[in-house]
């Protein structure tokens, strides 16, 4: 049932219609295609200012037309005498043309066959092949006659095995394949005729590893003794030793004379890289060798001590030990007594306080106060285990306070003696 079409067909309604009218009168049939048996065309009705448009299917008639209303997604509406009735390009026309024969008046396509197709004249518009008329064309019996491989491959890529003997591919095997002539087209091997070709017994005869590896990569252990992999499936000249199996496991029964002895670790187990982190211990207690920071010590999953690359040791807790402080006079220079020690002591205040990070109570001095009277006793340091950040905070060297206390006591003693002598 073909859709038909013609160019520049346009007229007007000879009478008004409502939204249910199925017989429409038009002013002139000039330019419109004549409808044969089973044929139809799509027409567009539009009012004079194109504010109302409806597509109808015309199935019979010349000036009195039989129509099906509300086509191609439009709605049936009322129109007036004199409104436009035209053949326009519509989606419904195009869709019908792709599904059925289309008769374009004076057009180049006839009978839905592509007469001047670049392949041949027997391909239908939808790409299918007119096999009934194919014998005289460059494609014969749906096979590719001059195909670069051979003339016995069907258009769909399958092989005409019944007529393959005289072609380059014989018995569905690759005759002159760069590997051998016994591989089938699908990649499988004709093992029955493989003995005289480069691949023998499904093994790679001249493989760069050895001649005893099978095509699937497995090893012919029965004939392995003269290869670089020894007959026990072990790597004979492996850079580690000759007792590692091919899968990387260790032959512990014969390992005593090799670099790895009794599956024990080597004496030096340091990593070669200085930039890769390493860990030692278990998931609960361990040492983290941090390439960017230093050695970090964890207990119960929390970092409790850190030895940084600059030599600073941070401990999140008390350090209990017997210790000494270097104080030999021969190791010091620019030695001077602390002056005005009593005045400096009087500028300080002893305070009690609590630490923010653990609420522990303590007592002592404030580093900011000491810095004003004795700057050498105050240093700035990072305290990550206390603060959790990378900022620097003031720390107080309490051993430095001993000197100022001693000199202050001496000044007090002198004042007491002076008072006692009066």
pLDDT tens, position by position, 305-317: 999 999 999 998 8
DSSP readout, 278-297? EEEE-SSSEEEEETTTEEEE
What's the CA gap between 107 and 114, in Å, rounded?
12
Q: What is the mean pLDDT of the chain?
A: 78
- The pLDDT confidence band at residue 404, using thresholds 50, 70 and 90, is very high
17 pLDDT higher than 80: yes
Contacts of 113 (CB under 8 A, 6+ apart): 121, 122, 123, 124, 125, 130
| Residue among 198, 187, 186, 185 nearest 149 (CA) | 185
Whether 24 and 48 have beta carbons less than 8 Å apart is answered as no
Whether 315 and 300 have beta carbons less than 8 Å apart is answered as no
What's the CA gap between 64 and 157, in Å, rounded?
55
What's the CA gap between 134 and 132, in Å, rounded?
6
What pLDDT, in 10s, does the model give residues 164-198?
544 444 556 665 444 556 667 776 777 666 544 44
- Which residue reads 């278990």 in tokens? 282
Tokens for 193?
A: 């005729």
Question: Residue 260's pLDDT is what?
Answer: 47
| Residue among 32, 91, 94 nearest 58 (CA) | 32
- The pLDDT confidence band at residue 100, using thresholds 50, 70 and 90, is low
What's the CA gap between 412 and 9, in Å, rounded?
125
136 pLDDT higher than 50: no
pTM strictly above 0.85:
no
- The pLDDT confidence band at residue 351, using thresholds 50, 70 and 90, is very high
- The pLDDT confidence band at residue 107, using thresholds 50, 70 and 90, is very low
- The pLDDT confidence band at residue 121, using thresholds 50, 70 and 90, is low
- The pLDDT confidence band at residue 159, using thresholds 50, 70 and 90, is confident
- DSSP designation for 385: H
**Dihedral pair phi/psi, residue 81, rounded to 5°:** -60, 135
């Amino acid at each position: 049932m073909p859709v038909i079409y013609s160019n520049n067909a346009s007229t007007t309604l000879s009478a008004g219609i409502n939204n249910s009218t199925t017989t429409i009168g038009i002013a002139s049939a000039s330019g419109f295609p004549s409808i044969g048996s089973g044929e139809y065309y799509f027409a567009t009705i539009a009012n004079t200012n194109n504010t109302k448009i409806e597509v109808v299917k015309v199935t019979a008639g010349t000036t009195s037309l039989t129509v099906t209303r509300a086509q191609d997604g439009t709605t049936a509406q009322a129109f007036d005498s004199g409104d436009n009735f035209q053949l326009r390009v519509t989606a419904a026309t195009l869709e019908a043309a792709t599904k059925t024969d289309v008769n374009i008046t004076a057009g180049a396509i006839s009978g839905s066959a592509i007469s001047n197709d670049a392949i041949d004249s027997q391909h239908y518009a939808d790409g299918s092949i007119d096999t009934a008329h194919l014998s005289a064309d460059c494609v014969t019996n749906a096979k590719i006659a001059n195909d670069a491989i051979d003339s016995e491959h069907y258009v769909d890529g399958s092989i005409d095995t019944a007529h393959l003997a005289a072609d380059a591919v014989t018995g569905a095997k690759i005759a002159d394949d760069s590997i051998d002539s016994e591989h089938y087209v699908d990649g499988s091997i004709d093992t029955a005729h493989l003995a005289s070709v480069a691949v023998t017994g499904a093994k790679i005869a001249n493989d760069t590893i050895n001649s005893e590896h099978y095509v699937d990569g497995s090893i012919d252990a029965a004939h392995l003794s003269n290869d670089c992999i020894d007959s026990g499936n072990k790597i004979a000249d492996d850079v580690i030793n000759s007792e590692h199996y091919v899968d990387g496991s260790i032959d512990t029964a014969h390992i005593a004379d090799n670099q790895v002895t009794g599956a024990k670790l080597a004496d030096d187990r340091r990593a070669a890289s200085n930039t890769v982190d390493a860990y030692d211990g278990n998931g609960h207690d361990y040492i983290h060798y941090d390439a960017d920071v230093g050695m970090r010590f964890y207990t119960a999953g929390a970092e409790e001590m850190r030895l940084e690359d600059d030599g600073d040791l941070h401990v999140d807790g008390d350090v209990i030990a017997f210790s000494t402080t270097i104080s030999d006079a021969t190791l010091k220079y620019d030695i001077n007594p602390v002056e005005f020690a009593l005045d400096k002591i009087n500028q300080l205040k002893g305070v009690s306080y609590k630490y923010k990070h653990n609420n522990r109570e303590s007592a002592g001095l404030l580093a900011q106060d000491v810095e004003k009277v004795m700057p050498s006793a105050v240093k700035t340091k990072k305290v990550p285990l206390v603060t959790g950040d990378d900022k620097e905070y003031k720390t107080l060297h309490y051993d430095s306070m001993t000197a100022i206390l001693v000199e202050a006591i001496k000044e007090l003693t002198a004042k007491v003696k002076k008072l006692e002598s009066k």
